[in-house]
Structure 1
Amino acid sequence: MTMPSSTAEVPLIAEPWAVELPDGRPFSKDPSVVRFRGRYLMYFTLPQGYAGDGWRVGIAESPDLRAWRLVETLVPQESFETPGICAPGAVVLDGVVHLFYQTYGNGPADAICHATSHDGVTFVPDASNPVFRPEGDWNCGRAIDADVVVHGDRLLLAYATRDPEMRAQLLGVASAPLDSGFGREAWTDLSHDAPALAPELDWERECIEAPAFVRRGDGLVMFYAGGYNNEPQQIGWARSSDGATWERGTLEPFLPHGAPGSWNASESGHPGALVDEDGRTYLFFQGNDTGGRTNLLAAVEIGWDGDVPRVLRPVTA
């Protein structure tokens, strides 16, 4: 479902898109996009049963990043995945799609799971699921919002968690050897002693979440969402040389929510980054103007000045 909207404030590459629910609402969130076998695949969160009773992972395909079509959904399989699975992060390694997604509804026990696919649509869950929860006394043990990137001979996994009181949302990073298979025993929590990033700026309020990696030369950039959903949530970025220690690249939102009346007036949130085969970078994100009753997915193209990102305006004929 493509929604007509005003996109003057944020130079989108195409109109915002979402799956239409039976009641007519457009609702899709938490995008992660890869290029695989000549097409683009987007993994995202959908209401389970399309009725709002929990969550599942949707899969959409596109030939050009602009027109999307729902092709499959992944539903909870295990007891610990009830009442839902969501917030996927995908990466292609040696012709296999690795999907990292979270359980939902278990409070501090929510964790990251892993599954693999040779066609991008049919997935085999990891036998050791869930594969990751954080360590250290600075967090509650919860892990959500996974994203992954290859960094040297390791796969880095960024995750969101909360403080022991379940109040503030924080970010951490873990790593696993590329030849490990990424099961439960493979992960080392690089944020064992302290969060990689914690909310500090006024617009971040008590939440930073939804990390999205981009590799830049020998270093890394991480886009992230500040503020809980619709507070409004807005997008910032940080950089790192080692994947463990991060510093903010901006004190103001990099991608703010829209003005009243715009499609993303309630938020610009939960980013997901794609570096395409030609080297171009796209940042996907969710937005709405209904306080969260609806949710649409959109993307901007990102240009770079070294490791400093900027939003590009689409070239028009």
Structure 2
Amino acid sequence: MKKIVFFLLVGFSFFSAVAQEKMMYGDISRKGVPFAKDPHVIELQGRYLMYFSIPPYSNKTGPENGWNIGIAESTDLIHWEKAGEITPVGEYESKGLCAPCVRVYNNKVHLFYQTYGNGKDDAICHAISTDGITFERDKSNPIFKPEGDWNCGRAIDAEVIKFKNQYFLYFATRDPDYKIQMQGVATAPGSSNFTKKDWEQAKNAPIMIPEYDWEGKCVEGASVIQKNNKLYMFYAGSYNNAPQQIGVAKSSDGIHWEKISDQPFLRNGKKGEWNESESGHPHIFETSGGKTYLFFQGNNDNGKTWYISNIEVFWNENGPYLKDKM
């Protein structure tokens, strides 16, 4: 009888551990320590592909030594293996590229990303792939940067979603003094192939600004999902390690947004936890089976390392909610 109880306890502990297993991914190829930021995930050809920003090498120089984009693959959204990298091929991205948004439209994989290292001249670019690993650049790149005296001319953190028969391109920019990070939006027709000529700034003003204490001077990293006839935007509030935390807003038209709370949806961790320094730069992802996961970046050493993790998000009539706050 004692042996039966022992095996039952061991079995229970094993299955409990499996059920509680958390994703924790960091690319060690560039710095020798885990370092991956800005996640974005798609489901393609029977597997998941995650795209993320990877930093310059610690021991190399040259055009490949800026911020680039890494690719990892998984079958369970927990365990990931490196599958490739996207590195500079054009002069406009020679200083770096990062912050990927990846969507599958018309059986093609579309990558929206930002140039990096050009200050106020950083802009949004586009590339196409059939396998999700090798990409062909859009000849009209960069495809978008904002206009108007409300911003500095920079566009980063692209997010694209199709809604009501048009495409919405969300981006982060700064005020003319380069201090306040804000959200803007551009649109393109539903028939668009995403070239520069198709994008039109939808509002000559920010669609979201930092308002609450926890948002500091920054709202960025928009990730948008449609539920019924509404869009929900998961966004990062405050600059990295301030701490950055994640909020949620909702919209019926894609342009006018209402924050659903004055508190973060996902906070940074407590002292000593892996995400003590921040829980930031969200990506909301829905599987083909209808489950929703919030991917996000975090660390507990003020940015010496960076990990990507995820947490399942649930929905009711009031919007998204969490059962387990990491």
TM-score range for the pair, normalised by the shorter chain length:
over 0.9
Give, in whole Å, the separation in 1 of the partners of 2:30 and 2:92: 27
Q: Please tell me the residue identity of whatever aligns with 1:40.
A: Y
Among all aligned residue pairs of Structure 1 and Structure 2, give the percentage whose two residues are the same amino acid: 48
Name the TM-score, length of structure 2 as normaliser.
Answer: 0.90
Give, in whole Å, the separation in 2 of the partners of 1:21 and 1:49: 8
Per the TM alignment, residue 188 of structure 1 is displaced from its structure 2 partner at its CA by 1.3
Give, in whole Å, the separation in 2 of the partners of 1:104 and 1:113: 11
* Alignment match of 1:101 (pick from 102, 107, 113): 113
* Alignment match of 1:180 (pick from 192, 211, 220): 192
Asked if 1:84 corresponds to 2:96, the answer is yes
Distance verdict in 2 for CA 1:130–1:22, change over 3 Å: closer
For the aligned residues, what is the CA RMSD? Answer: 1.6
- The aligned counterpart of 2:202 is 190
Native 8 Å contact 1:13 1:300 kept in 2:
no
* Secondary structure of 1:76's aligned partner: coil
- The aligned counterpart of 2:87 is 75
* Superposition map of 1:1-317 within 5 A: 14-21=22-29, 23-49=31-57, 53-192=65-204, 194-306=205-317, 308-313=319-324
Give, in whole Å, the separation in 1 of the partners of 2:286 and 2:42: 8
Question: How big is each residue's C-alpha offset from its partner over 1:105-136, in whole Å with a ceiling of 9 and x where there is no partner?
Answer: 11111000000111111101000000011122
Distance verdict in 2 for CA 1:307–1:36, change over 3 Å: farther
Give, in whole Å, the separation in 2 of the partners of 1:12 and 1:285: 18
Q: Which one scores higher on RCO, CA 8 angstroms, separation ≥ 6?
A: 1
Name the one with the larger helix percent: 2
Q: Please tell me the residue identity of whatever aligns with 1:43.
A: Y
Per the TM alignment, residue 189 of structure 1 is displaced from its structure 2 partner at its CA by 1.0
Native 8 Å contact 2:30 2:55 kept in 1:
no
Question: How big is each residue's C-alpha offset from its partner over 1:33-65, in whole Å with a ceiling of 9 and x where there is no partner?
Answer: 011111101010001346594200001110111
* Secondary structure of 2:197's aligned partner: helix
Question: How big is each residue's C-alpha offset from its partner over 1:56-87, in whole Å with a ceiling of 9 and x where there is no partner?
Answer: 00011101111101110001112221210000
Native 8 Å contact 1:91 1:98 kept in 2:
yes
Give, in whole Å, the separation in 1 of the partners of 2:59 and 2:297: 19
Distance verdict in 2 for CA 1:88–1:138, change over 3 Å: same
Name the TM-score, length of structure 1 as normaliser.
Answer: 0.92
287-296 or 74-83: which moved more?
Answer: 74-83
Distance verdict in 2 for CA 1:205–1:233, change over 3 Å: same
Per the TM alignment, residue 298 of structure 1 is displaced from its structure 2 partner at its CA by 0.2
Give, in whole Å, the separation in 2 of the partners of 1:55 and 1:172: 23
Native 8 Å contact 1:12 1:301 kept in 2:
no
Give, in whole Å, the separation in 1 of the partners of 2:107 and 2:313: 26
Q: Please tell me the residue identity of whatever aligns with 1:36.
A: L
Instruction: Specify the structure having the higher radius of gyration (Cα).
Output: 2
Native 8 Å contact 1:12 1:300 kept in 2:
no
Q: Please tell me the residue identity of whatever aligns with 1:121.
A: I
